[in-house]
Chain A
Amino acid sequence: MSEKINIPDHYSKWESDVKIGKKDDHVTIGYWRDGCKGCGICVDVCPKQVWELIEAKDKWNGQVVQVTDASKCIKCMLCEIHCPDFCIKIY
């Protein structure tokens, strides 16, 4: 674990030990709820169903996302790359 984790304080964080192929690794998932527009793209692109949509009455379309189980993450970065709103950081 040499890389520097740089997730701003206003991000929610989930952490877990993970196995990537046969290698032991660790993931930190950062998520910026205020910036999230609940589009659901992260839920759609994640191959491991790490994200899920949940109800959020304060949002215009009534939904945001949350991490269900960080231990399933394979750090493929697809969610981070395809979130149109700069809301996800995977370390």
Chain B
Amino acid sequence: MAFEYEKYLRMDKIPHLWCPGCGIGVVLKAMLRSVENVGWEKNDIAFVSGIGCTSRAPGYIDCNTLHTTHGRALSFATGIKLAQPAKHVVIFSGDGDATAIGGNHFIHACRRNIDMTLVVVNNNTYGMTGGQHSPTTPIGYKASTTVYGNIDPTFDICLLAKAAGASYVARATVNKGKMLEKYITKGFEHKGFSVIVATANCHTQFGRKNKMSDPISVRKWIESREIPIEKARTMKAAELNDKIITGEFITHEEETTWWENYNHPIHEYTEAYQTIRDKAQERK
């Protein structure tokens, strides 16, 4: 049965400003279906973003929304969550927003394991500002700042999040909208910091510079590099260069060994913060 996105949108702002076929719309839709899946009331949600094409998303969503500064969405979101722990705080960031200018905020939000959900739309570029290379532009690919091809190795955002202490981490691509929905829903349900990476097409900036100027060729290029994590576990590291590993990287549903997860969360941050509040009250 069709999904009634209208329920969650500011319809006077639709059609959105994203390019025809832009992957961000597909991720936003998966996110809205996830809100319905967990049954959150709109007024209990705070939807936060930084700056970038991806970060325009809050403008279209009919709930409490905050469009902040580039790279600092997680800092604003942390403030909201600590002041109002009952709110469901969701952050929408681009790869640049989350892992370049906001990289430090990103690893520390993971480290704190604060009960929020971060959706990173990874389109391998700075879409909004003209296609500069980002920490996820693959080696050899062109950007407006790497006209002879990029030589900087990339971050794997999922492995970075896991190593830094995020307690639910998953990745899916815009070719699999249902899978994105499943992981974002699980991220919402998870108590602790959840990171869902959505690999998406920016054909206008990234694609155009790499002989893929339409949405479908970038979607197919993404598809050709997708490897499920179960399969990746059996492959040699060198075979996985330039591949997109999809699936759940950490869930904490099962017990893990130190080697699988050397950063097991000791507590969730808003709960820990409450103990400090209580101590401060006692001293008064």
Contacts from A to B (Cβ < 8 Å): 3, 6-8, 30, 34-35, 37-41, 44, 61, 78, 80-86, 89-91
Contacts and interface: CB of A to CB of B under 8 A. Distances in A.
A44 B18 CA distance: 19
A84 B24 contact: yes
A81 B16 contact: no
Contacts of A89: 2
B177 A39 contact: no
B25 A84 contact: yes
Contact of A84 (B9, B18, B175): B18
A82 B174 contact: yes
Given A40-B216, A41-B215, A84 B2 contact: no
Given A85-B15, A86-B14, A7 B2 contact: yes
B5 interface: yes
Contact of A3 (B1, B5, B26): B1
Interface residues of B, number: 29
B11 to A, nearest CB: 9
Given A40-B216, A41-B215, A82 B9 contact: no
Interface of B: 1-6, 9, 14-16, 18-26, 29-30, 174-175, 177-178, 214-216, 219
A40 B5 contact: no
A82 B26 contact: yes
A32 to B, nearest CB: 9
A84 B216 contact: no
B98 to A, nearest CB: 21
A15 B16 CA distance: 28
Contact of A86 (B20, B29, B174, B219): B29
B5 A84 contact: no
B230 to A, nearest CB: 23
Contacts of B15: 34-35, 37, 85-86
B29 A40 contact: no
Nearest to A39: B21
Nearest to B178: A81
B219 A41 contact: yes
A84 B23 CA distance: 7
Nearest to A63: B20
Contacts of B30: 81
A52 B157 CA distance: 37
